Chain A
Amino acid sequence: MYKIIFTGPVGAGKTTAIGAISETPPVATDVPCSDDTRAIKATTTVAMDYSYITLEDGTRVHLYGTPGQERFNFMWEILARDGIGLILLINRDHPNPLQQLDFYLNAFSEFITQTAVVIGLTKSDLQDNNDITTFQDHLYQRNQIFPVFDIDARSADDVKILVHALLAVLNQ
């Protein structure tokens, strides 16, 4: 079974990205926010997002999205089990996206070592300056060379690029 995990901070677009490429109505577990997340959005994922896509060759790829908040990190472990790779979404409109990048790369470091990761910088459509080299330099300093893409999580084509990039890395 091919299973890909979408993770990243609250509001990065994980639920949106899975919904954008999903072939069926996705399983979503969003509930009203009561914490400081409320300033960003009205609802938040508390268990997981789930859906699947079928590749040209008929292979079905299952997509699991994690909750963003650290208090749900038990779900990160459960969802990552048997996963073949990670799609890390980081929203560009966050005040400190590099810190977010570090946090999730560290939280999933074991999984990433065993599998692969691609990084999608979301909400690039809302940003004037889409300098991607800052992120690449940062990864280089961490001694980690991973594919990075600017995407709009609402666009199916953009999200598919991430999925295909991840599969390409895995097939190397």
Chain B
Amino acid sequence: MQIIKDIIETLQNKSPNKVIDASTQFNQQLQIILKSLLQATDNINAALISSADGIAKSQVAANPMDEHRFAAMSSALLALSDNLSKEAGKGTAENVLIESKQGKIFILHAGPHLLLTVFTPAAANLGMALAHARQAVHQINALVEALTP
């Protein structure tokens, strides 16, 4: 979790005149988390962080993606999955898994206000991809917590 420590340190050392940049800086830190996620594993080749209401915050991908549409679709899918899971007596959904011939897509909650969507290549190891995605979620949560007064 060295990245997170570094991120938190930079954010906490912010001088007051830099406060205006807090959200830009936050998005930059999200970008760092995503880049290191893609560097850490071949099982993920694109990732997107978005708000619960479907607005793209940060994305990293080998090929360009339509992050605005993907963010909106991720939030719609996860919200419906939460409903189904709750109504089936299983509590809120931790993640949604879409398995397709050319790859898999995970949509995960990252705290109450953010989502992480990861995309895998066709040959990816599902367990490894999910484990790395979960680690990124922990990093996002730690970042958000560090910034919440």
Q: Decide if B51 touches A71 in the complex (CB within 8 Å).
A: no
Stretch of B6-14, B32-40, B68-76 lying at the A interface: B68-76
The docked-state distance in angstroms from the alpha carbon of A82 to that of B73 is 21
Q: Decide if A67 touches B76 in the complex (CB within 8 Å).
A: yes
The docked-state distance in angstroms from the alpha carbon of A71 to that of B71 is 9
Return the contact of B76 from the options A27, A29, A33 (Cβ within 8 A). Answer: A29
Write out the residue numbers on chain B whose beta carbons fall within 8 Å of the beta carbon of A27. Answer: 83
Known: A29-B83, A46-B52. Is A72-B76 also a contact (CB below 8 A)?
yes
Q: Decide if B83 touches A32 in the complex (CB within 8 Å).
A: no
Known: A32-B53, A34-B53. Is A71-B76 also a contact (CB below 8 A)?
no
Report if A31 contacts B (CB, 8 A). yes
The docked-state distance in angstroms from the alpha carbon of A28 to that of B87 is 12
Write out the residue numbers on chain A whose beta carbons fall within 8 Å of the beta carbon of B77. Answer: 47
Return the contact of A34 from the options B72, B82, B113 (Cβ within 8 A). Answer: B113
Return the contact of A46 from the options B76, B112, B113 (Cβ within 8 A). Answer: B76
Write out the residue numbers on chain A whose beta carbons fall within 8 Å of the beta carbon of B54. Answer: 46, 69, 71-72
Give the Cβ gap from B110 to chain A, nearest Cβ, in Å.
Answer: 13
Give the Cβ gap from A107 to chain B, nearest Cβ, in Å.
Answer: 15
Give the Cβ gap from B128 to chain A, nearest Cβ, in Å.
Answer: 29
The docked-state distance in angstroms from the alpha carbon of A71 to that of B70 is 10
Give the Cβ gap from B36 to chain A, nearest Cβ, in Å.
Answer: 25
0/1 interface trace, chain A 48-64, chain B, CB 8 Å (1 if under): 10000000000000000
Write out the residue numbers on chain B whose beta carbons fall within 8 Å of the beta carbon of A69. Answer: 54, 72
The docked-state distance in angstroms from the alpha carbon of A31 to that of B92 is 13
Return the contact of A71 from the options B72, B82, B83 (Cβ within 8 A). Answer: B72
Write out the residue numbers on chain A whose beta carbons fall within 8 Å of the beta carbon of B76. Answer: 29, 46-48, 67, 72, 74-75
Return the contact of A32 from the options B69, B73, B113 (Cβ within 8 A). Answer: B113
The docked-state distance in angstroms from the alpha carbon of A34 to that of B57 is 11
The docked-state distance in angstroms from the alpha carbon of A10 to that of B112 is 22
Report if A35 contacts B (CB, 8 A). yes
The docked-state distance in angstroms from the alpha carbon of A27 to that of B83 is 7
Write out the residue numbers on chain A whose beta carbons fall within 8 Å of the beta carbon of B75. Answer: 31, 46-47
Write out the residue numbers on chain A whose beta carbons fall within 8 Å of the beta carbon of B79. Answer: 29, 31, 46-47
Residues of B57-115 at the interface with A, using a CB-CB cut-off of 8 Å, are 68-69, 71-73, 75-77, 79-80, 82-83, 112-113
The contact sample of 19 A-B pairs, CB cut-off 8 A, is A27-B83, A28-B83, A31-B75, A31-B79, A33-B53, A34-B53, A34-B55, A37-B53, A44-B53, A46-B52, A47-B75, A47-B79, A48-B76, A48-B80, A71-B72, A72-B54, A72-B72, A72-B76, A74-B72
